[in-house]
Amino acid sequence: MIISQVMQLITGIFEGLLGIPLFGGAYIMGSGYTPLFVMLILHIITLFLASRDGRWIAGSVLGIVTSILGFIPFVGMVLHWITCIVLIISVFQPKRY
């Protein structure tokens, strides 16, 4: 695996953890929404790496949107789920070119 795939897998797992009902929301709110900011930075880094390596970037772009809108109850939870799935699928996709 190349580093962009590892980052996609890591951010996908983190998104899945943040999407766990009650736990994810309590963790995010209890931490002063800092996990959303950290995930935003990780998604930007992953986007850069995936783009550089010719990997799929949809998961990272969706992750950036999720990090921005993740503070909205229920909407954030569903966005975390969707982002998790897209990122994990992206790991196993072939290069774009």
Instruction: Read off the pLDDT of residues 33-90 as tens digits, 9 standing for 90 and up.
Output: 999 999 999 999 999 999 999 999 999 999 999 999 988 989 999 999 999 999 999 9
Contact 37, 67 (CB under 8 A): yes
pLDDT at 97: 65
Domain boundaries, the chain: 3-91
| CA distances in angstroms from 47 to 22, 44, 69, 73, listed in the order given | 28, 5, 18, 26
pTM of this structure: 0.92
Q: How far is CA 31 from CA 16, 35, 54, 65, 86, in A?
A: 17, 7, 35, 20, 26
Cα→Cα distances 39→63, 67, 94, 97, Å: 8, 6, 24, 27
Which tokens is 93 given? 């996709």
Give the Cα separation of 5 and 1 in Å (integer): 6
